[in-house]
Amino acid sequence: MKRFWLVMLSLGLVLAFSASAFAVDVKFSGDFTIGGMYLDKTTLNKDPFAYLVVAPSTTGTHIVGLGTQTVGPSTAFYYQRLRLRTDFVVSPGLSFVTRADIMSRVWGGQRSSQMGPYGQPLSGSAVYASPGSTYESENIVFDWAYINYVSPIGLFMIGYQNDNAWGTVFGDSAVAYPGIEYILPLGQFVLIAKYSKGDDGSRTAINAGSGNADFDQDQYVLAGMYKFKQGEVGMLVKYLRAAEATNYMLINRNNNDMISAWIFAPYTKFKVGPVAIQAEVNYLNGKIKKEGAGAIVQGELAGQDVDIQALAAFVDATADFNMFYVGGTLAYVSGDDPGTPDKSEGAFLNGGTDWNPCLIMWNNDRTYWAGAMPGYSLANLIPATQDGPMGGNNSGIGQPGAWFFQGRAGVRPVTNLDIMASVSYANADKKPILWLYNDFGWEADLTATYKITNNLSYMLGGAYLWTGKFYKGISDANNVTDNYMVINKLTLTF
pLDDT at 264 over 60: yes
pLDDT at 252: 36
pLDDT at 434 over 90: no
How confident is the model over 184-219, as pLDDT tens digits?
999 999 999 999 998 777 777 777 665 566 677 899
Q: How far apart are CA 188 and CA 193, in angstroms?
A: 17
The dihedrals phi and psi of 2, each to the nearest 5 degrees, come to -60, -40
Domain 23-493 -> CATH class:
mainly beta
pLDDT at 3: 53
pLDDT at 368: 87
| Alpha-carbon torsion, ordered 242, 248, 252, 258, to 10 deg | -10
253 pLDDT band, cuts 50/70/90, is very low
Q: How far apart are CA 125 and CA 136, in angstroms?
A: 9
More confident residue, 386 or 182: 182
Q: Which of 195-209, 392-406, 425-439, 473-487 has the lowest mean pLDDT?
A: 392-406
pLDDT at 157 over 90: yes
**329 close to 315: Cβ distance less than 8 angstroms:** yes
pLDDT at 48 over 60: yes
pLDDT at 395: 40
Rounded to an integer, the average pLDDT of 97-102 is 95
178 pLDDT band, cuts 50/70/90, is very high
For 395-423, the DSSP string reads ---S--SEEEEEEEEEE-SSTTEEEEEEE
Q: Which of 123-127, 327-331, 416-420, 435-439 has the lowest mean pLDDT?
A: 123-127
pLDDT at 51: 63
Could you tell me where the DSSP H helices lie in 273-411?
A: 364-370
pLDDT at 418: 98
Q: Taking the domains of the chain in order of start, what are their residue ranges? A: 23-493
A 10 A CB-CB count for 228 gives 9
What is the SS3 assignment for 29?
strand
A 10 A CB-CB count for 328 gives 15
Which amino acid is located at 1 in the chain? M
336 pLDDT band, cuts 50/70/90, is confident
Helix, strand, coil percent values for the chain (each to nearest 5): 10, 50, 35
Maximum average pLDDT range among 43-47, 124-128, 354-358: 354-358
Q: Which of 62-71, 160-169, 415-424, 483-492 has the lowest mean pLDDT?
A: 62-71
Cβ within 8 Å of residue 273, ≥6 positions away: none
Q: How far apart are CA 363 and CA 344, in angstroms?
A: 26
How confident is the model over 392-409, as pLDDT tens digits?
333 456 888 899 999 999
